[in-house]
Amino acid sequence: MSAKRLPSNPRVAVVGATGAVGRVILDILLERSFPASEVRAIATARSAGSKIPFGDLDLTVMEISEEALEGADLVLLDTPDEAALEWAPIAVDKGAIVADNSAAWRMEESVPLVVPEINPHDIDWHSGILASANCTTIGVVVPLFALHREFGLASALVSSYQAVSGAGRPGVEELREQALKVVDDLDSLGLGNYTGPDPKTFSEPVAFNVVPLVGSERDGGFTGEEWKLRFEARKIMGLPDLEISGTCVRVPSVAGHGSSVHATFESEVTSKAAIDVLGNAPGVELTDVPTAVLAAGRDPCFVGRVRQDPDDPCSIWFFTTSDNLRKGAALNTVQIAELLLP
């Protein structure tokens, strides 16, 4: 027996519609002509009653409630984890399928964690909730899995270069305020004197800085973000024992998470062989220099700087960037919903 699917023209509720990812979800539903018969914008009480543009329409934001979810076939959630924990089961009880972009459900055994280029078949065993993955993780696993299929992945080491919009609009605002204040005196910053506003969203000033801590440290000194990279990558790729770890770092880019990846395979991988595979991989676009700005506002995972490790013919280095709000969040969530259409 296969799991529940959507009707042909589902009624869609976007919860968290006023946030950075929520707005991109609405954009992407339009861009991809998602066959919704109705789209509702839902958020907290604070935003209720405000208007959000949706094509030629203005959606009036509804406050999250059982009533607001009534009759929805598909609920796309982008909220803090606590809200997703609370509202996803309610939406399922009311008959909806939930595609959730929070971290709340990703590691639940009964919840498929789906990146459509990798494990689309995992939608077959959902019980109402499907999870989209962490933004850094998605950008890494899309190219990595294409290489795995060909060469057999043994291990991966990742260092990330994460944009401020990973913390939503407050992250972008914080970068903007700090940068405006200090851009006129970069020489002073070059001597270690930061004179901008105190950080609120991030733990350290982020403008013209590099901050090797995303979130806070947990077991073994790894942050939640770093553990997500490990455990989500294993679940998505169906490699429960994969050796994968990393260091997550915030940098002052606006959108487009980057990762420097060193990956080791079971067989020899030349640069040319890796490039051939990546050139045909779904969701991957090869480029010479995959910058953050190149990825921003675009759908693919851009991959470049592919090189065979000079010490190990079974290992390669590559760099990848992808838009953390699109493929890293909103796009992947909508792609999951597309898989559920008849």
Catalytic positions are 135, 257
How far CA 294 is from CA of 97, 164, 254, 304, 333, in Å, comes to 34, 16, 12, 12, 22
- Whether the CB-CB separation of 39 and 334 falls below 8 Å is answered with no
Judged by CB under 8 A, which of 306, 330, 331, 334 binds its own copies? 306
Distance of alpha carbon 13 from alpha carbon 19, whole angstroms:
14
Here's the x/- map for its own copies, 260-299, by CB under 8 A: it reads as: x-x--------x----------------xxxxxxxxxxx-
| Choice between 109 and 311, CB closer to its own copies | 311
Relative to beta strand 74-77, strand 97-100 is parallel
If one asks whether residue 119 binds its own copies (CB under 8 A), the answer comes out as: no
Number of residues engaging its own copies in binding (CB under 8 A): 75
Where in 42-81 is the site for its own copies (CB under 8 A)? none
Q: Which stretch binds its own copies (CB under 8 A): 80-88, 115-123, 301-309, 329-337?
A: 301-309
C-alpha Rg value of the chain to the nearest Å: 20
Q: Restricting to residues 157-196, which ones interact with its own copies according to CB under 8 A?
A: 157, 159, 161, 163, 165, 172, 175-176, 179-180, 183-184, 186-187, 189-194
CB of 311 to its own copies, least distance (A): 4
Q: Residue 201 to residues 54, 174, 259, 292, 329: CA-CA distances in angstroms?
A: 29, 7, 22, 21, 19
* Binding to its own copies, residues 9-48 (CB under 8 A): none
Interface mask toward its own copies for 132-161; x: CB under 8 A: -----------------------x-x-x-x
How many CB atoms are located within 10 Å of the residue 339 CB? 17
Which residues contact residue 18 at a Cβ distance below 8 angstroms, ignoring those fewer than 6 apart? 41, 43, 47, 50, 52, 61
Beta pairing partners, 54:
57
CB 88 to its own copies: min, Å? 28
Q: What separation in angstroms does the CA of 121 have from each of 118, 161, 185?
A: 9, 31, 54
| 55 or 71: CB nearest its own copies | 55
The reply on whether position 319 binds its own copies by CB under 8 A is yes
DSSP letter (8 states) at residue 128: S
The helix-helix angle for 135-151 and 224-237 (nearest 10°) equals 40
Q: Are the C-beta atoms of 195 and 185 separated by less than 8 Å?
A: yes
* Neighbour tally for 54: CB within 10 Å: 17
d(CA 29, CA 31): 6
Which residues 226-265 are close enough to bind its own copies by CB under 8 A?
230, 243-247, 249, 251-256, 258, 260, 262
- Least spacing, CB of residue 47 vs its own copies, in Å: 19
Q: Longest Cα pair distance anywhere in the chain, in angstroms?
A: 65
Q: Which residue's CB is nearer to its own copies, number 29 or number 295? A: 295
Judged by CB under 8 A, the stretch of 11-19, 89-97, 109-117, 201-209 that binds its own copies is 201-209
Per the structure block, which two tokens stand in for 329? 């969040």
Distance CA(178)–CA(174), nearest Å, equals 6
Q: Which residue number, 35 or 170, has a Cβ lying nearer to its own copies?
A: 170
CB of 54 to its own copies, least distance (A): 18
Binding piece for its own copies, criterion CB under 8 A, among 84-92, 102-110, 309-317, 334-342: 309-317
Token pair for residue 180? 């405006």
Q: Shortest gap between Cβ of 73 and its own copies (angstroms)?
A: 30
Residue of 56, 198, 220, 240 that binds its own copies (CB under 8 A): 220
For 141, phi then psi, to 5°, come to: -75, -30
CB of 38 to its own copies, least distance (A): 27
Residue 198 as a binder of its own copies (CB under 8 A): the answer is no
Task: Provide, rounded to whole angstroms, the least separation between the CB of residue 257 and its own copies.
Answer: 9
- Helical (H) or strand (E) element with 51: strand 51-54
